[in-house]
Amino acid sequence: MINCTFKNMSAKIILSDRELAIVQNKEWLLTKRKIIEKVYELFGGLHCAYQQIAKPYAGQLSYLPISKMGKISRGENYKGLPYLILDYPADFNKKKITAIRTLFWWGNFFSISLHLSGLKDHKNEIERWLNYFDEKGFFISVSHDQWTHEFGAQNFQPFQKHKKEDFLKIQEHDFFRVANRVPLDQWEHAPEKLEASFQIIIEFLKDQLPRR
């Protein structure tokens, strides 16, 4: 939408010195493009690795499309920053969600999360699920918004830091989310760390949630 609020077209939109330097630096944008392409390549490799991990459990996880290709999505504005998402395996429908989501968020981190919704038949199992992922060093979402990805006081945080009321709020939700993250300065180790977390999630789905 075009902004026509200017009353006087002689008014100037001024760039700061830093903004002026960036707008003249085409190499920065080209470098950004190359980095995004490398994340695509990394996610392609992760997808193949994930498939190899999940394939032996296909019969026990019949509700998940393990034999099908995952989906890589890209955007430029999650909290103002570019991102890529790999959903594999994932089943999104109106009644339930079961999805493993790998995220690259520019300037922040890589993460891998398990997203479950439609949990009315599993309320009594959530404490056991929390204990499982707590032992594995995962973070638990205490947010009321099931689509956020941040780590911190309002969303993913270590289970040990929960207050009792936070836990009760989680039980009231119709969704359950846990995640692990890899700092961007550990780029070289990101694939192995993400694969290890993926294995933990798949084992959980096989043993703790065999039917959806």
For residue 200, which of 87, 53, 84, 42 has the smallest C-alpha distance?
53
Q: Judge whether residue 5 has pLDDT over 90.
A: no
pLDDT over 90 percentage in the chain: 67
48 half-sphere exposure, CB direction, 13 A CA radius: 5
pLDDT tens for 76-97 read 999 999 999 999 999 998 889 9
Q: How confident is the model at residue 189 (pLDDT cuts 50, 70, 90)?
A: very high
Q: How confident is the model at residue 131 (pLDDT cuts 50, 70, 90)?
A: confident
Per-residue tokens: 205: 């789905």
DSSP 3-state assignment of 81?
Answer: strand
Q: Judge whether residue 191 has pLDDT over 60.
A: yes
Instruction: Say if residues 58 and 136 touch (Cβ distance below 8 Å).
Output: no
The C-alpha atoms of residue 53 and residue 38 are separated, in whole angstroms, by 23
Q: How confident is the model at residue 168 (pLDDT cuts 50, 70, 90)?
A: low
DSSP code at position 114: E
Q: How confident is the model at residue 144 (pLDDT cuts 50, 70, 90)?
A: confident
The confidence score (pLDDT) of residue 188 equals 96
The confidence score (pLDDT) of residue 210 equals 64
Q: Of 60-64, 164-168, 187-191, give the lowest mean pLDDT range.
A: 164-168
pLDDT tens for 195-211 read 999 999 999 999 887 66
The C-alpha atoms of residue 175 and residue 153 are separated, in whole angstroms, by 18
Q: Judge whether residue 48 has pLDDT over 70.
A: yes
Residue environment code for 142-152, b if the CB has 16+ CB neighbours within 10 A, otherwise e: bbeeeebbbbe
Mean pLDDT on 17-21: 93
The C-alpha atoms of residue 128 and residue 181 are separated, in whole angstroms, by 22
The confidence score (pLDDT) of residue 139 equals 94
Q: Judge whether residue 10 has pLDDT over 60.
A: no
For residue 51, which of 197, 200, 190, 195 has the smallest C-alpha distance?
195
Q: Judge whether residue 9 has pLDDT over 70.
A: no
